[in-house]
Amino acid sequence: MPCHPQALNLLISLLLIVSLCKSSYGAGIAIYWGQDVNEGTLAETCATGNYQFVNIAFLYSFGNGQPPMLNLAGHCEPSANTCTGLSADIKSCQGKGIKVLLSIGGASGAYSLSSADDARQVANYIWNNFLGGQSSSRPLGDAILDGVDFDIEAGSGQFWDDLARTLNGFSQQKEVYLAAAPQCPFPDAHLDTAIKTGLFDYVWVQFYNNPPCQYSGNANNLLSAWNQWTTVQAKQVFLGLPAAPAAAPSGGFIPVDVLTSQVLPAIKNSPKYGGVMLWNKQFDNGYSAAIKGSV
């Protein structure tokens, strides 16, 4: 059947529009949960409809002979095995299409990797206790998390690439999504080597508590740093922000109107743009709801 020229032009126009919109396709908001008992449950967090990713924070002790330990700040007590009740919440989130990741590290954790073999042992522990493997002592119960978020803010930058490679290797059995939360000064002191593996699906950059590259009344430094971060080998790069001024004592909060009218329009044209990451659920009292239509 011959194709009418007008129909062909319409088709080309539609394809062009689709290609132009591709950068924002699937964009969403990632949130950290688990560091304040008053922030609500995990199930309630996912039920807001505001988030596409939830990072359960933190596995704060691991590696270098240290016993792996989870700290969820009063939500439950891992040593008493009361966090297994989170399994139903995790499954509830996943049932809504939300990816739930285990965040490892944090700003005040007791973690380090001493060798490539140590990294492999940590990866095996995470796989068996939180992901698709098997263990008799799964801290969060039988729910299978979607992946691991590297929030590495201490120690050296060594062997995190080995951890990423080993975790990624498990994807042959069940997909393991990898995320990283570097500081905005480029490149990140702790995660640069890991990110350079090209194995990370999501890199949510912390544009807060970092005066050289955060928003400070104007977005020039932030946008300059953003342009550097979009050069990394990762599927998507996210703008990491505090959900309220109190969430970042050293600054970086961007008022809703500034974010939606100035910053997001400037960064959404990047093919790597994935959305916004917020720290954290405790401080998110309306911010995600106000920005989600613009993300």
CA nearest to 147, candidates 253, 59, 18? 59
Return the residue matching tokens 């263990």.
135
- Could you tell me the two tokens for 252? 């970086």
Phi and psi dihedrals of 33, rounded to 5?
Answer: -130, 145
Single-letter code of the amino acid located at 185: P
- Cβ atoms of 271 and 23 within 8 Å: the answer is yes
* Annotated active-site residue in 39, 44, 77, 153: 153
Which residues touch 174 (CB under 8 Å, ≥6 apart)? Answer: 131, 132, 144
Pairing, β 99-106 against β 147-152: parallel
- Cβ atoms of 101 and 145 within 8 Å: the answer is yes
> Is residue 153 annotated as part of the catalytic site, yes or no?
yes
Altogether, the residues listed in the chain come to a count of 295
CA nearest to 205, candidates 146, 279, 263, 291? 279
CA nearest to 147, candidates 118, 183, 174? 174
**Active-site annotation, residues:** 153
